[in-house]
Amino acid sequence: MTTTARLLDPGVLALLASLPPYDPAEAGRLDARLRAEGLDGELVATLLTQLRLRTRAREKFGDFAATMLFTEDGLQQATRLAVAAHHANRYRAAGCRHVADLGSGIGADSLALAGLGIRVDAVEVDEETAALAMVNLMPFPNARVLHADALTLDLSPYDGLFADPARRGPTGRVLDPAFWTPPLPAVLALRTRIPELGVKVAPGIRHDDLPGDAHAQWVSVDGDVVEAALWFGGLADAPGRSALVLRHGRPALLATAATPDASPGVAPTGPLRRFLHEPDGAVIRAGGVATLAERLGATVVSDLIAYLTSDSGAPTPFAETFEVLDHFPYSRKRLAAHLAARGVGRLEIKKRGVDVVPDRLRTQLRLRGDGEATVILTRLEGRHSAVIVRRTAGGQGTIDP
């Protein structure tokens, strides 16, 4: 019997539900207790792995994680529930009533669709992963799992499709979309049959590779870029590019281009002013630095450097904002002297356009004292510089009115 088959046994599922949340300090004692109760080592390891994965999964799934089943790869590749909810809302707004989630993995997007009352079929070619998805979707009578190949599935029952091609192979990340599983061109061809198609893609996808009828959106959650997705038909307001920024569960949307393959605009360069803004990664990936600069009345600090500077510190959800306290041409010796004079013992180092390794530099600076500081190492109008900053009251931004 496979590990997954044993895990799906009702008695084992009941035992798993009775166990306490994973605690690394108690894992050894729990292991010994379960073995003493007669469980074999393989099953104990399986149960402890699920407890550990459920703890990690809370970041993506919240309270749902406590009853879900995972694999390492499945959890890593699964859409965060907060993001999946935005996906599902697109299908509801487009009037979709029956959606096929192609390459559903452990069922994250299917869960969000089902939660909005949309009928969903989670389609997964890997049998063991499909079995885990079946458990994860059991609370939803409008969801079912199909063990099938996404590209040979009969699409006639559906009015919406969502696809999440696998982007990892035996040797690691697969960069060429033509070699994803299934290949991106084959997935995109499905929109000729079902126009309402959404496709999750790698955040590093090139703008040149985007179809002209797509709306491409990059998504970040609390500062981390977590995905990009292509939307077609009624799921897209219009072709183009945008950044969706989620901070503390609150969304903000920045349109960055009217066509998906448009070249990013170029913001003007100017001298460092009172405030420095670090655009969110989703904004950068979506080619929206120039758009954000115009919105903030800002300039970039140097060519090809995605730091903006302005006279206003008004918070924005699309950037982290700092007040500039000091700046000078960068050298390790000069930076060390500046920090030593101020008794800085804890230093946050941010960098862009300067070849340094922050952890190594922090050690080389030999910091002493009780003070804290943040330094941004970058280029100012082409010159390597150190900028001493502090976060503004708005910190990482609030929602624009």
The residue extents of the domains of the chain are 3-58, 75-257, 275-391
Q: Tell me which H or E stretch contains 199.
A: strand 197-201
Sequence-ordered list of residues with C-beta below 8 angstroms from that of 47, at least 6 positions apart, any chain: 12, 15, 16, 19, 34, 39
For 31-43, what is the mean pLDDT?
Answer: 94
pLDDT tens sequence across 301-349? 999 999 999 999 988 999 999 999 999 999 999 999 999 999 999 999 9
Residue 398 has pLDDT above 50, yes or no: no
Omega within 30 of 0 (cis) for the link into 185: no
Q: Tell me which H or E stretch contains 28.
A: helix 27-36
Nearest to 401 by CA among 314, 280, 322: 314
Q: Enter the tokens of residue 170.
A: 């035996």
Query: What distance, in Å, lies between the first and last C-alpha atoms of the chain?
Result: 58
d(CA 293, CA 123) in angstroms, rounded, equals 43
For 194-215, what is the mean pLDDT?
Answer: 95
pLDDT tens sequence across 334-345? 999 999 999 999
What backbone phi and psi angles, to 5 degrees, belong to 122? Answer: -85, 115
User: What mean pLDDT is reported for the chain?
Assistant: 93
3-state secondary structure of 357: coil
DSSP line for 168-179: EETTEE---GGG
pLDDT tens sequence across 383-395? 999 999 999 975 5
Q: Give me the pLDDT at residue 396, please.
A: 54
Residue 54 has pLDDT above 90, yes or no: yes
Strand-strand pairing, 160-163 and 371-380: unpaired
For 242-252, what is the mean pLDDT?
Answer: 93
pTM for the model stands at 0.91
3-state secondary structure of 229: strand
3-state secondary structure of 370: coil
Q: Give me the pLDDT at residue 400, please.
A: 35
pLDDT tens sequence across 92-142? 999 999 999 999 999 999 999 999 999 999 999 999 999 999 999 999 999
For 159-179, what is the mean pLDDT?
Answer: 87
Overall fold of domain 75-257:
Rossmann fold (3.40.50)
d(CA 88, CA 99) in angstroms, rounded, equals 10
d(CA 252, CA 135) in angstroms, rounded, equals 33
Q: According to DSSP H, which parts of 116-253 are helical? A: 127-136, 184-188
Residue 374's alpha-carbon distances to 193, 324, 350, 362, in angstroms, are: 53, 10, 8, 12
